[in-house]
Amino acid sequence: MSGRCGSAVPRLERHLSAGMRNPQWFRILLLLLGGMSLFIGLCGGLWRLGWILPHGASFAQLHGPLMISGLFGTLISMERAVALGRPWAYLGPISAGLGSLMLVAGLPSIFGASAYLLASGALALASLLILRQQPALFTAAMLFGALAWLTGNMLWLLGGAMPDLVGWWLAFLILTIAGERLEMSRLLPRKAGSEALFVMIIGLLAAGARNGPTDDNGAVLFGLGLLAATLWLFRHDIARRTVQQKGQTRFFAICMLLGYVWLGLAGAALLLWPPPAMAFGYDLALHAVLIGFVISMVFGHALIILPAVTQWRVAYMPWLYMPLTLLHLSMLLRAVGGLAEWPELRQVSGILTVLAIMAFMLTMAGAAWRSRRHRRSGQAALLPPGSALPKARS
């Protein structure tokens, strides 16, 4: 495992290295595949809420796999591959992107599920190597998250129903984000027994995922795991301190803390309105995690992850609060609409979620363009009169 994983791995590294002559554009291509999963997944979600869209029925069946494995699986796998620095680790995001392409092209789901399984296996191996290089609670959490994704994909490949395996996919996202937040907060002092408590939280989430969040017992276990994770992260995340600062640092912290609120509400929903008797509890918990928690975290981390992956410099802009506000307003409307059994309000919430994500992407694009323009202006100011402006590397 120390850099050699059998004779096949070096050959795979040579092939991938040959195809990555320009890693920046290679990563951007993978981001575009993730964007495709996002767009079609959102269309499927709108169809589920009652909006009439072309190919809406077929997109709705792909909504869950594309959003979790196609979008977040691609992004997380690529981030881990960049961190590890091994060409073979890009097998993860490549497989996730290809799996999405096969599903969108209309191939049987077994092809997409197999590609997602390969992607999660590559992510688990990359996470294991990172854990061996840096043994710590946060790297262990990321490994457990990758294994949860691997388990969910295996169950889907074997024909499991989406509600029965979605707990594993949610655990993948929750533990991955928790690991990343722990990495940023690792210098803060922790009380004795905090690591043992975190291991217990992993056990609760795994047990709840095993039984399924649509099962009475599974809903209770998963809900308790979500509540415990919320309290643990509130207690140990550095965001409680950095929210008092200004600018980009404060924006990060607000994204984190708002996400934790929805994570806790997801746990409470499973306990107060447990499925299958109350479908509202399952729907609220599912989307509170995915929209209120995960996408809020994506908004917060994008200013760090995007430059690391694409080598584009992105300047913080206060305008980023607009899509963040829309995102959490959409989740609030969805919760109220479900509780009041008001389908029209839930439909409006879906449109607001899409608008929030699109507004965020446009704001990030504007921030990247502004950073590039300022950098070019700075380069021009340093040149003597009559010199040609050198090409800026994006």
Q: Which of 309, 350, 293, 334 is nearest to 173 (CA)?
A: 293
Mean pLDDT calculated for residue range 253-257: 94
| 212 within domain boundaries | yes
* Structure confidence at residue 223 as a pLDDT band (50, 70, 90): very high
Q: Is residue 352 part of a domain?
A: yes
- Residue 101 confidence (pLDDT) above 50: yes
Place 260 in a pLDDT band, splitting at 50, 70 and 90.
Answer: very high
- Whole-model pTM: value is 0.86
Mean pLDDT of 268-284: 87
In a domain, 50, yes or no: no
Please give the mean pLDDT across all residues of the chain: 85
Judge whether residue 305 has pLDDT over 90. no
* Rounded-to-integer distance, Cα 56 and Cα 158, Å: 25
pLDDT confidence band for 390 (50 / 70 / 90): very low
Work out the pLDDT band at 393, boundaries 50, 70, 90.
very low
Long-range Cβ contacts of 249-257 (<8 Å, 24+ apart)? 251/300, 251/303, 251/316, 251/320, 251/321, 251/324, 252/300, 252/301, 252/303, 254/300, 254/324, 255/296, 255/297, 255/299, 255/300, 255/301, 255/324, 256/181, 256/296, 256/297, 256/300
Evaluate if residue 193 carries a pLDDT over 50. yes
State the pLDDT at residue 42: 92
Query: What pLDDT does residue 84 have?
Result: 86
Helices (H), the chain: 8-18, 23-48, 56-65, 73-84, 91-104, 109-133, 137-157, 162-184, 194-211, 216-236, 239-242, 247-272, 279-287, 296-310, 321-339, 343-382
Residue 317 maps to a domain: yes
3-class secondary structure, 367: helix
Is position 341 within any domain?
A: yes
Q: Which domain holds residue 216?
A: 201-375
Banded pLDDT at 372 (limits 50, 70, 90): low
Cβ(323)–Cβ(363) below 8 Å: yes
The answer to whether residue 168 is domain-embedded is no
Please name the residues in contact with 103: beta carbons below 8 A apart, sequence gap of 6 or more.
62, 65, 66, 70, 109, 111, 112
Question: Any idea how long the chain is?
Answer: 394
- Residue 371 tokens read as 């950073």
Asked if the structure places residue 256 within a domain, the reply is yes
DSSP helix/strand/coil, 192: coil
pLDDT digits (tens, 9 = 90+) for 8-32: 445 545 555 554 555 777 888 888 9
Does residue 291 carry a pLDDT above 80?
Answer: yes
Mind listing the pLDDT tens digit for each residue in 35-64? 999 999 999 999 998 888 877 788 888 999
Q: Which residue has the higher pLDDT, 312 or 41?
A: 41
Note whether residue 326 is domain-resident. yes
Higher pLDDT, 186 or 262: 262
- The first and second tokens of residue 90, run together, are 């890009």
pLDDT given at position 180: 86
In the predicted structure, residue 7 carries a pLDDT above the cut 70: no
What average pLDDT does the segment 95-117 reach?
Answer: 95
Looking at per-residue pLDDT, the higher value among 16 and 90 belongs to 90
R_g over Cα of the chain: 21
Give the three-state DSSP class for 193. Answer: coil
> Does residue 242 contact residue 252 with C-beta atoms inside 8 Å?
yes
Indicate the number of domains in the chain: 1
